[in-house]
Amino acid sequence: MRVLSGVQPSGALHIGNYLAAIKQWIPLQEKHECLFFIVDLHAVTVPYKPQDLRQNVWNAALDYLALGLDPAKSTIFIQSHVHQHAELAWLLETITPLGELERMTQFKEKSKHRQKANVGLGLFAYPALMAADILLYKTELMPVGEDQLQHVELARTLARKFNHLFGRTFPEPKSQVAKIGARIMSLADPTKKMSKSLGPAHFLAIFEPEEDIRQKIKSAVTDSGKEIVYDVKKKPAISNLLTIYSLCADKPISEIEKQYQGKGYAGFKSDLAEVVIETFRPFRRKREELLQNITEVRNILSRGAETARSIAEKTMKEVKEKMGLL
Ligand code: ATP
Ligand code: LTN
């Protein structure tokens, strides 16, 4: 089975990206043909600084490798190094209904606080580019967080539509979503999804200094009352922290609730900080090693792009023929 997924280099990768997405990618490498990429063409759909983007792409590459993506098993590359992504996106845009794009929650969220003049066409067309990423490799499975399901659904719709209009070409891709932690919430506002772009108080970056992790968890908002119980409606903040604890410590939530029965938030939070730090400690060491060997990282990305391009070229040849392009 062919597997594909990616993260936007829009900031430091956070524990939501890891727990919901990257953690699921690692075991898939053992059994499937996997492609993991850094989606820089998606990251330029909102205002950004070029020097930040460059840094974020390198950081994402280091994070991928430190967290266990293995270039001997998977193809690891940067989206913009394979020009066919943009080419297929254009062709798919010609069959993408405007109504589908208008319904996209991510588009609504990212455009709602901006004036129309400051919302680019690229942000609107974002899901068509994502469909192109997926279909370019005839992907069958995408391990993603819950917020991406609507986009995956569009990729399925476009695969069906293309096949209907031009003849069978693409399999209908499926998503794989983690049972727990598919939507990690912000530490500063548990009604919002943890995200890179909300600002540093909202997320816990995987590789931020340990002291910052302690501080951020200490300042994370909590709910009224004192009990440490899982109840998403009444206690959204504590439920989110319990989810993070459970995933990092690999313990069921019910067990953690028992462990902290009659105990206060302060102790729970300081234990949680240590659990999070412990979880990422081995990856931190690996990342430091990689930092010393940046040429090797560059080579991995360049080999990855070559492999990806060879698949992409074949698909584009077929797509162009079927669409009547000479
Ligand atoms: P941005 O803030 O730039 O929109 P993001 O932090 O939301 O970025 P993405 O790069 O869009 O992250 O997402 C990468 C992967 O991580 C996707 O599979 C996405 O579903 C998942 N993901 C992102 N945020 C969360 C979250 N809070 N909980 C669970 N999964 C998440
Ligand atoms: N939009 C996704 C990243 C992404 C992706 C993809 C994920 C772009 N193309 C193809 C899976 C398959 C996000 O996480 N924001």
SS (H, E, C) 14-39: EHHHHHHHHHHHHHHHHHCEEEEEEC
pLDDT tens figures, 128-172: 999 999 999 999 999 999 999 999 999 999 999 999 999 999 999
Tens-digit pLDDT profile for residues 99-126: 999 999 999 999 998 888 889 999 999 9
Per the structure block, which two tokens stand in for 65? 């490798």
Q: Which two three-digit tokens encode residue 44?
A: 């330029």
Scanning the structure block, which residue is given the tokens 């990855």?
Answer: 304
Helical axes 149-166 vs 121-136, angle rounded to 10°: 70
Decide whether any atom of ligand 1 lies within 6 Å of the 184 Cβ.
Answer: yes
1 CA to centre of ligand 2 in angstroms: 18
| pLDDT tens-digit series, residues 276-300 | 999 999 999 999 999 999 999 999 9
Contacts of 93 (CB under 8 A, 6+ apart): 125, 128
Q: Which of 195, 244, 248 to mutate to test the pocket of ligand 1 (most atoms within 8 A of CB)?
A: 195
Query: Which pLDDT score is estimated for 118?
Result: 86
Residue 78's φ and ψ, nearest 5 degrees, are -100, 130
Q: Which long-range contacts (CB under 8 A, 24 or more apart) does 112-115 make?
A: none
Return the pLDDT at 230. 96
**What Å distances lie between residue 234 and 223, 227, 256, CA to CA?**
8, 11, 18
Give the residues across from 142 on adjacent strands.
Answer: 175
Q: Are the C-beta atoms of 265 and 226 separated by less than 8 Å?
A: yes
> 6 near 37, Cβ under 8 Å?
yes
pLDDT band at residue 198 using 50, 70 and 90 as cut-offs: confident
The pTM assigned to this predicted structure is 0.96
Comma-separated ranges of CATH 1.10.240.10 domains in the chain: 196-288
CA distances from 163 to 92, 178, 199, 319 (A): 12, 30, 41, 10
| Helix (H) or strand (E) run with residue 174 in it | strand 174-176
Active site residue 31: no
Residue type, 299: N
Q: Is the pLDDT of residue 55 over 90?
A: yes
Q: In this predicted structure, what is the pLDDT of residue 102?
A: 96
pLDDT value at residue 317: 98
* Average pLDDT, rounded, for the chain: 96
- Name 211's Cβ contacts closer than 8 Å, sequence gap at least 6: none
Structure confidence by residue, pLDDT tens digits, 259-280? 999 999 999 999 999 999 999 9
Mean pLDDT of 172-189: 94
Measured by CA distance, the residue closest to atom 8 of ligand 2 is: 130
| Binding residue ranges for L-tryptophan | 133
Q: How confident is the model at residue 216 (pLDDT cuts 50, 70, 90)?
A: very high
- Residue 113: its pLDDT value, please? 87
Of 138, 161, 192, 196, the catalytic one is 196
138 tagged catalytic: no
Percent of the chain with pLDDT over 70: 100
Give residue 116's pLDDT: 86
Give the tens place of pLDDT for each residue, 14-24. Answer: 999 999 999 99
Cβ of 10 closer than 6 Å to ligand 2, yes or no, is no
User: What string of H, E and C letters represents the secondary structure of 77-114?
Assistant: EEHHHCCHHHHHHHHHHCCCCHHHHHCCHHHHHHHCCC
pLDDT-derived band at 63, boundaries 50, 70, 90: very high
Q: Are 197 and 184 in contact (CB under 8 A)?
A: no
Which CATH number does 2-176+294-323 carry? 3.40.50.620
Give ranges for CATH 3.40.50.620 in the chain.
2-176+294-323
pLDDT in tens, 237-257: 999 999 999 999 999 999 999
- What is the mean pLDDT of the segment spanning 216-232? 94
Closest C-alpha to 57, from 75, 78, 71: 78
Candidate CATH numbers 1.10.240.10, 3.40.50.300, 3.20.130.10, 3.20.20.70; the one for domain 196-288: 1.10.240.10
**Tokens 């983690």 map to which residue?**
178
Contact 136, 88 (CB under 8 A): yes
Tokens of 235: 């206690």
